[in-house]
């Protein structure tokens, strides 16, 4: 955690709740740095290089988010930058992998989860509302005849497996971070 703490400004470290939130954002960015190249490689193997490039582009923005804190961005701005990059990435993947039925759509759940972890209830509810509206919009668009391209990945079952495993792992990490933060907060009272 020492390496992570080095990128968090002293003003945020002075307030335990903000320090914890900034740490969580930095940990999620580090996980993104590790997983994004692997996902890009997976999409290459599946014959969908454009998706790999979009993953790397979105991940680049997500990885920069914690560093914006040192550039004077607020924690809320850095959090929303991270989540917005994830959100746009998931929208793009949904539109190119078959709409609301795409195996990557469940990853939208991470947007409100991360907002809850890093920002609390209000941002979590806001991002939850955005995600729900997006899911309904995708569904209505499909039902209205808007064509959703279903890029023919070479192995849809492999994509579904990796997507599900990744979501379980990352969801578990988020819950573990939240659980740890709750324990730290109880000890400080």
Q: Which pLDDT band holds residue 3 (cuts at 50, 70, 90)?
A: confident
**pTM to 2 decimals?**
0.92
Structural domains counted in the chain: 1
pLDDT of residue 185: 57
Kindly report, residue by residue over 6-41, the tens digit of the pLDDT. 889 999 999 999 999 999 999 999 999 999 999 999
Asked whether the predicted pLDDT for residue 162 surpasses 60, the reply is yes
| Residues contacting 70, CB < 8 A, separation 6+ | 7, 9
| pLDDT score for 30 | 95
Identify the domain containing residue 70 by its residue range.
Answer: 2-188
């Amino acid at each position: 955690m020492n390496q992570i703490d080095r990128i968090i400004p002293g003003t945020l470290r002075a307030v335990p709740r903000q320090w914890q939130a900034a740490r969580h954002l930095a940990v999620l960015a580090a996980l993104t740095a590790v997983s994004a190249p692997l996902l890009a490689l997976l999409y290459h193997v599946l014959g969908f290089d454009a998706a790999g490039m979009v993953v790397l582009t979105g991940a680049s923005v997500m990885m920069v988010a914690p560093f914006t804190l040192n550039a004077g961005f607020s924690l809320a701005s850095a959090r929303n930058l991270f989540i917005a990059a994830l959100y746009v990435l998931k929208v793009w993947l949904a539109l190119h992998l078959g709409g609301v039925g795409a195996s990557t759509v469940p990853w939208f759940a991470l947007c409100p989860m991360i907002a809850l972890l890093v920002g609390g209830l209000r941002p979590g509810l806001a991002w939850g509302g955005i995600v729900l509206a997006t899911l309904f919009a995708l569904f209505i668009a499909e039902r209205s005849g808007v064509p959703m391209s279903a890029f023919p990945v070479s192995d849809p079952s492999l994509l579904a497996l990796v997507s599900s495993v990744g979501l379980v792992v990352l969801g578990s990490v988020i819950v573990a971070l939240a659980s740890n933060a709750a324990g730290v907060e109880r000890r400080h009272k």
